[in-house]
Structure 1
Amino acid sequence: MERETSVSAVFEGGEDIAAARDLARDFLETLREKCGVTVSPRALGAVRLVVSELVTNARKYAPGPCLLTLGLHEGTVEVTVWDSSTTLPLTLPPDPTRVGQHGLEIVRAVCHGFEAHREPVGKRVRAVVPLADEPDGIAADRRTV
């Protein structure tokens, strides 16, 4: 039986992006090794990518620190990032000629759910990544949050 588990960290500088990715990797390895949770190679890459993009955006567009929380919930990892800006992220439409600003487009493509909402102070962005793949290698159960 899967138990609820989570980890959180505060990030305040540009060098923290690598530390955030490392936290995600360590969290998923702990789930696999100590909790017996199936974590596909795709899920490991997707969670690290989502963490990198969301923490990068928080550090780039919001003053002050950001809070990253990773949580196991019903076969998924919920990646949540809080920052001090109330401006909600904007996912631009696909444009192969645009250079840059594809981060949220990619995050939404690899996630099973994505949402952003304002908090009394700042905003919270949440992305949900399934940990197991279907037999064809596609991420299982793609729903919106």
Structure 2
Amino acid sequence: MRAAYALGGDDSCIADALDQASDNHHLPVSARARDLTQLVVSELVTNTRKYAPGPVLLELCITARTVEVIVWDSDPTVPAARAADPSRIGQHGLEIVKAVVEDFDVQREPVGKRITARIALADGPDGGPRRGVAADRDGAVGP
């Protein structure tokens, strides 16, 4: 199941896509996955709007085990997390994203770059993300 959205002023489209996956395809979308997906989208899109000129495209790809947050922009510069500095105010977005996702990848495109972050849909026995789900990249569900 793929859901692509033009970005508006709120994040209800993200919750709607996850609800659809849960309801229509009986996928286990945990509250943790929903919250982390909204956080990751917010951080990646904020960074893109701040540092890259031009359009931003957001795609959510929901598979049997993960949600992929894919953000494309027209700037080819690969983002880099800054060194940890507790006294720094702001500019922690990429650090946060890398800390909460299962997998993070940046690919240069003919124009710009594509950033993909994968988040496990279901919680593990300890209430955290299930381990080993990042390798499941071919489990697309639905039309």
Instruction: Tell whether 2:3 aligns with 1:33.
Output: no
Residues 76, 130 of structure 1: 8 Å contact kept: yes
Give percent identity, aligned residues only: 47
- What is the aligned counterpart of 1:121 among 101, 105, 111? 111
SS of 1:71 mapped into structure 2: strand
Count of aligned residue pairs for this structure pair:
135
Shift of 1:9: 2.0
Q: TM (normalized to structure 1)? A: 0.86
User: Aligned equivalents of 1:133 and 1:82: distance in 2?
Assistant: 28
Which has the higher relative contact order, 1 or 2, with Cα contacts under 8 A spaced 6 or more apart?
Answer: 2
Give the aligned partner of residue 84 of structure 1: 74
User: Aligned equivalents of 1:79 and 1:91: distance in 2?
Assistant: 18
Residues 39, 132 of structure 1: 8 Å contact kept: yes
Give every structure 1 segment of 4 or more consecutive aligned residues whose post-TM-superposition deviation is greater than 3 Å.
142-145
Shift of 1:142: 5.5
User: Aligned equivalents of 2:67 and 2:123: distance in 1?
Assistant: 13
> For residues 1-145 of structure 1, what are the structure 2 equivalents within 5 Å?
5-11=1-7, 16=8, 18-19=9-10, 21-141=11-131
User: Aligned equivalents of 1:117 and 1:91: distance in 2?
Assistant: 16
Q: TM (normalized to structure 2)? A: 0.88
User: Aligned equivalents of 1:92 and 1:143: distance in 2?
Assistant: 27
Letter in 2 for 1:81: V
Q: CA RMSD in A?
A: 1.6
